[in-house]
Structures are given as C-alpha cells and as structure tokens.
Amino acid sequence: MRTRTGNLPLRSSTYARDAAYQEFFTHSSAPRVHTDEVIAEALRKQYPELHLTLISRCDFLGYAAAGLATATPVDSEGPKPEDLRYRTYLDPGRRRGGDASFLSNAVAFGKFIYKWKDEEYILYQVAGHQQFSTTQTSFLLGSTQSNDSLIYEVFRYQNNIPNAVLVFDQGYWQASPELWGKIQSSNWDDVILDAGMKKSIRGEVNKFFDSEERYKKLKVPWKRGIIFHGPPGNGKTISIKAMMHSLYDRADPIPTLYVRTLTSAYGPEYAISAIFAKARQQMPCFLVFEDLDSIVSDNVRSYFLNEVDGLLNNDGILMVGSTNHLERLDPGISKRPSRFDRKYLFPEPDFDQRVQYCEFWRQKLADNKEIEFPVELNKAIASITKGFSFAYMQEAFVAALLEIAKTGEDESEDEGKQELSGDKASRSIYHFSTLPSWEPPCPCSWIDRCECGRRADVLKERDLDTYILWREIKKVVKTLREELGQEPGESTSL
C-alpha cells in the first residue's frame, strides 16, 4: 500500500522506517561524515520520481509561520515519529506587562508536506555536520524539474523582513528584529560628542547618499569608507546606531548590513565574498564592520582588499568600521585613499561632555521621586570622573543605583545625615552654576575647604553628602579607579 498526499508519495509500504531518517540516525550516532551527502542519496532512492534540491540556511518554516505557505508535519503510520525536535522555552526578554514567553521547537530532523500557491512539496529539515561545524539544510522534493520559484520567494522574504536589520554572523545573513529595536531608540540627540565632530559625521554620511549624480559627473567611484576609532566605551557604537536610525528615516531609506564576524563553515574568504555580494545587491547601503581590526586579520587582509578594490562595482556602498585599536589595522586599510579614507577619533570625554552625560542621567531619573538628583550633582560627578569613558560613567551610575535599591533610601539617608552632624558638617561645596563659564576655581580638592583664596565668586552651598546618590557614586568611582589602575585620589581634584 502506498500512502499519498495530493500527487506526492509519502511511503512505499504500509509502514517502513523513512530511509532518510534511518541514515540521519545512523550517521548522527557514529563518526561524523558529510551528512548532506548521505541524506541526499537516501532521498533519491526513496523518491526517484521527484526532483531534489538542497538549500542551506533557507527559512521555509519561518515563511510558513508568516502565513505565506503551510508546513504540515508528516506523522508516521507506526509507533515512532520520524522527526527529532528540541522543545525550548523562549523568554519574552523585556517584561512590559503580560507574559510574551512561549514554547518553540528547534528542528534537528523534520519531515513536512509543504504547500505554496498551487504546488505541493515534501520538505526535510536536517541539522547535519560538516567537519567541525553544524549545518542546517533543507531538502526540497517537488514534482517539477525546478523548485527555484519557491526557494527564491523564501530567500527574498527572509532577507527583507520588515523591521529587521540584516546581520552577517556564523557564515550567513540573518534578519535581526532585536538590532532593529535597539537602533529605534538610538538618536543623535542622545549622542554626546564634540558638536563639530557630530555635525561632520552626519553631514558626510548624508551627503554621500545624496551625491550619486555628482560622483558620476566627476567620473569617480561612488563609494567611501570611514573609521571610528578610540578607547572603548566612548560613543562609537551608539553613533553608528544613531546613523543607522537616521538613514532608515530618510525619504529614500538606506538599509544597513551589519557584519559581526567572518566565521563560516566554508572559511573567511567565502564570508567576505558573501558580504560584498549582498552589499552590491542592496546598494545603496550602509555596510558596518564591528571591531574592524578583529574581522580583517592578516590571513584575510588581501582577500578583503580585493573585494573593496576589485573589478566588481561597489557603487553606492558606504563602509564604516569601528576599532578600539587603530594601530592594529594594516596601513593598507587605514591609510590608503578610496578604502577607509576618513577617520574620526572618539577620545575620553572632556569635562563638559561628562557634565552632559550626567544631565542625561538626571533626565532619566526625573520621574523617580525616591532619588534626589539636583543639577549641582552634574558638575560634581563630572569633576571626580576625569579619565572615565562613557561606559565607565554608566557603570558608576548603574552600580550606585543598584546599591541604593538594595539598601533602601530611607535607611541610607538617615545614616548620611547622622554622619554630617560631626566635623563633616562643616564641609562646604561651591555652587558651580554661579560661574559664567566653567573654569576650575582653584587647584584644591573641591570637596574640602578651599585654602588658596582663588574661589572668585563661588558661593557656599548645601553639602552634597546629604544626597545618597552622591555618596554611593563616590564609593563606586573609587572602586572603578582601582580597576583602571589609578590612585584612589587621582583626578578627584580640579
């Protein structure tokens, strides 16, 4: 007896173990081989009348889940299902009311009747092994000589998912709604940089995408490269995300292709080729290389440069690479015109930028009635965080707030006020806002009395130690300075 669905045969007898599943089981429990080869051979023998196509990293099940096709698991006629799935729990991530978590299946081996338009297929989803990597291969069996129409539509869907950014990682492109969500909350207004530098970056990127005709008239390739470099934690990543946001918001949206690694089962050369092939398809586009110095290592440098400079047309591609170590980049990348020919240094924030960052946190905490954060704290905190990156300043705020949440504000406030009843109560601070522009009033430590008489018109104010946030931040800053290898009192004076 032969069981059929539509015009496609599913079995060659009342019940016999699926040949492909038997091969999958045999070779998954034995020394590793190229799984795709043995599965394909088993399917050709089992379905000689059907056309077989092997496809890598093609999300047929996601396409069906979006309602664009149907994928019905094939149940065995015997006691054991011919599939292997991992039941997994997916956490909602951010809990914003309700519980958006759910259970899902990760398919290691699955057999489906796949229907798309008026066509019916048999689909096998198989997790295989090739050398030291795991592969995910789809085996599509159809009655026609070509399955390309369906494959084309599935690939087009997964590469153009709305509200998602294409990210290259682990050897293939994948849509990332998570990165899309992050860039939606990244705006230039939140980026703290030198005003001239911020204006230059924004202007240069937008001008590039507005100047196609001008490049053509000048007979020069319409491509550019930019490097963001400097110590970690000083705004390179947030600037890239803010630029991505602004480019998506243009009247003619510019897509971003985001490269994390060159890791691939087929080697880094294949990955580089796949990256630039996609960029040429998507042009004009914004091609981002995160940690450029680690991506373009010595063993792939020449291949990377060939893709950048090669015979193929790279018009409309604006590359940006970030690095914490510009000196590690080959001069052929960082100093050669027409490659990455513009560089922006993101240094440690100066005093005014640290004040702006503190004001950013003050605005974030404006609705918190339990923590007092007067404007005077901005310059106070900025003065004791000289040499800190924005990342370290963020750590200072987060750690201080966590400590406040752990200990309870009321108890801490009482302890602080008791401390101030002794000699410490005689300490005074300077009301920085009375100065027409910020200039250090004296070389003395500002948290103690000024002894040099160079205070100008600085006024005495309430002691900042009455504020729990200030007390906790001072403790955290001291700890962070030890991590940085600085002396406890270093950079605490003006």
- Tens of pLDDT, residue by residue over 100-130, are 555 666 777 888 999 999 889 999 988 865 5
Rg of the chain (C-alpha set): 30
Nearest to 124 by CA among 75, 76, 74: 74
Nearest to 242 by CA among 168, 317, 191, 176: 191
What percent of the chain has pLDDT above 90?
A: 38
**pLDDT tens-digit readout, 400-421:** 999 988 876 445 445 544 444 4
CA atoms within a 13 Å half-sphere pointing along the CA-CB vector of 115: 10
**pLDDT tens-digit readout, 180-194:** 999 998 999 889 999
- Please give the pLDDT value at position 464: 81
Q: Cβ(21)–Cβ(33) under 8 Å?
A: no
Q: Cβ(295)–Cβ(259) under 8 Å?
A: yes
**pLDDT tens-digit readout, 349-402:** 999 999 999 999 999 999 888 889 999 899 999 999 999 999 999 999 999 999
Question: In this structure, what DSSP letter does residue 443 have?
Answer: S
Task: Give the β-pairing of 317-323 and 285-289.
Answer: parallel
Highest mean pLDDT, choosing among 53-57, 173-177, 227-231, 326-330: 227-231
The CATH number given to 177-345 is: 3.40.50.300
Residue 452 pLDDT greater than 50, yes or no: no
Q: What stretch of H or E contains 41?
A: helix 35-46
How confident is residue 332, by pLDDT bands cut at 50, 70 and 90?
A: confident
Task: Give the β-pairing of 460-461 and 429-430.
Answer: antiparallel
> Any idea where the domains of the chain sit in the sequence?
4-158, 177-345, 351-484
Triad 354, 357, 360: Cα angle to 5°: 155
**Three-state DSSP state, 63:** helix
Enumerate residues 6+ apart whose C-beta is below 8 A from 271. 168, 171, 261, 262, 263, 264
- Please give the pLDDT value at position 246: 95
- Please give the pLDDT value at position 86: 67
Residue 93 pLDDT greater than 80, yes or no: no
φ/ψ (deg, to 5) at 296: -95, 85
- Please give the pLDDT value at position 89: 60
* Whole-number Å distance between alpha carbons of 104 and 89: 6
- Please give the pLDDT value at position 82: 59
Helices (H) and strands (E) counted in the chain, each on its own, are 17, 17
How confident is residue 199, by pLDDT bands cut at 50, 70 and 90?
A: very high
What pTM did the predictor assign?
A: 0.66
- Please give the pLDDT value at position 19: 79
Residue 323 pLDDT greater than 90, yes or no: yes
Residue 285 pLDDT greater than 90, yes or no: yes
By mean pLDDT, which of 19-23, 154-158, 413-417, 460-464 is the weakest? Answer: 413-417
* Whole-number Å distance between alpha carbons of 1 and 31: 36
Both structure tokens of 170: 């682990």
Residue 489 pLDDT greater than 50, yes or no: no
Tell me what the pLDDT averaged over the chain comes to: 78
- Please give the pLDDT value at position 134: 58
User: Is 32 or 152 the better-scoring residue by pLDDT?
Assistant: 152
* Whole-number Å distance between alpha carbons of 380 and 365: 17
Nearest to 387 by CA among 262, 485, 275, 273: 485
- Please give the pLDDT value at position 425: 37
What percent of the chain has pLDDT above 70?
A: 73
Enumerate residues 6+ apart whose C-beta is below 8 A from 285. 254, 255, 256, 257, 279, 316, 317, 318
Residue 15 pLDDT greater than 60, yes or no: no
